């Protein structure tokens, strides 16, 4: 019995850009580490969202840049949260969560929900109870009320997978982005 012939695959010529030796992208490979991951993701622009939940009778929330669409049918999304975050107990124990897409006019709100120890639902934050008791923020580009379907362990974080059950995509404005450690406006 002879071995089957494996077809030969031709590779395309190198598409390396002409960069100077030692410049970023020139092949200066570093070993995987938390610092490397943070450095690479500083180069990745991400949309800014605020996730809200209830921790008993008290609303909680945090700024997230890890929001992703997972599936259109069923309508699933995901985000991550650290288990040491002050909002984690509310997210861990809630059946429903709010997901809010922030506009470029909401840099201060993004900063407030990102700051440890801040009074996130104080007088400066406009919000109301939404479907399933989810705290819904005012003035956002879009929001969803979501039912949690999974909490997947991932290091010191959890990947939350949730199904959209209600929402409103009709806010006006342009999205807020996070890049190089700062909140930024989208530029054409």
pLDDT value at residue 13: 43
Task: Name the token pair of 7.
Answer: 């077809």
Strands 142-154 and 135-137: unpaired
CA torsion 98-81-118-37 (nearest 10°) is -130
- What pTM did the predictor assign? 0.82
| Eight-state DSSP code of residue 11 | P
Which DSSP state fits 172? -
pLDDT, position 187: 81
Q: Average pLDDT for consecutive 10-residue bins of the chain (188 residues)? A: 44 43 65 89 90 95 96 97 96 98 96 94 95 97 98 97 97 93 85
Instruction: Name the residue among 141, 176, 163 with its Cα closest to residue 78.
Output: 163
Number of Cβ within a 10 Å radius of residue 62: 23
Cβ atoms of 59 and 121 closer than 8 Å: yes
């Amino acid at each position: 019995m002879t071995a089957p012939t494996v077809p030969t695959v031709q590779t395309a010529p190198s598409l390396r850009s002409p960069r100077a030796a030692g410049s970023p992208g020139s092949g200066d490979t570093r070993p995987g580490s938390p610092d490397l991951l943070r450095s690479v993701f500083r180069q990745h622009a991400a949309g800014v969202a605020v996730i809200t939940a209830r921790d008993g009778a008290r609303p909680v929330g945090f700024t997230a840049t890890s929001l992703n669409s997972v599936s259109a049918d069923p309508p699933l999304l995901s985000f991550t949260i650290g288990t040491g975050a002050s909002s984690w107990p509310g997210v861990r124990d809630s059946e429903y969560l709010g997901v809010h897409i922030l506009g470029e006019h909401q840099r201060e709100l993004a900063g407030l929900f990102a700051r440890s120890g801040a009074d996130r639902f104080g007088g400066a934050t406009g919000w109301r109870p939404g479907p399933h008791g989810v705290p819904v923020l005012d003035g956002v580009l879009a929001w969803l009320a979501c039912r949690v379907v999974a909490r997947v362990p991932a290091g010191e974080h959890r990947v939350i997978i949730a199904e959209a059950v209600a929402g409103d995509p009709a806010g006006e404005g342009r999205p807020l982005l996070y890049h190089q450690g700062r909140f930024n406006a989208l530029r054409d």
